[in-house]
Amino acid sequence: MSEAVSVRLDEDALRALTRLESTGLTRSEAIRTALVSAAARLDDRTRLAAEVAALEEDPAEVAEMRAVAELMERLRAEG
């Protein structure tokens, strides 16, 4: 089931819509695609934040992160 939605677009959104339409998408396809993509990016950020939190709680991962940071700092100082 589909539902019609009305929206006012500002200049940036209109330019973005025009770019999407230039790929051959219809206006409706472009808007649907953009909405689904935006929601997927939010999900990706949530998963990434959870993964980072898990890594930060793992002592072995924290030790490895510190070792890499120290190595990078030494390399920067040498260069």
Per-residue pLDDT tens digits for 10-63: 999 999 999 999 999 999 999 999 999 999 999 999 999 999 999 999 999 999
Q: Could you give the number of structural domains in the chain? A: 1
* pLDDT in the model for residue 2: 85
CA–CA distance, 61 with 66 (Å, rounded to integer): 9
Q: What is the largest CA-CA distance in the chain?
A: 63
- Indicate whether 65 pLDDT > 90: yes
To the question of pTM greater than 0.75 for the whole model, the response is no
Query: Which range marks the domain in which residue 22 is found?
Result: 11-78
Within a domain: 4:
no
> Which of 44, 25, 45, 47 minimizes the C-alpha distance to 34?
25
Instruction: Compute CA distances 29 → 9, 41, 56, 57, whole Å.
Output: 16, 18, 40, 42
CA–CA distance, 26 with 17 (Å, rounded to integer): 10
Within a domain: 70:
yes
Within a domain: 5:
no
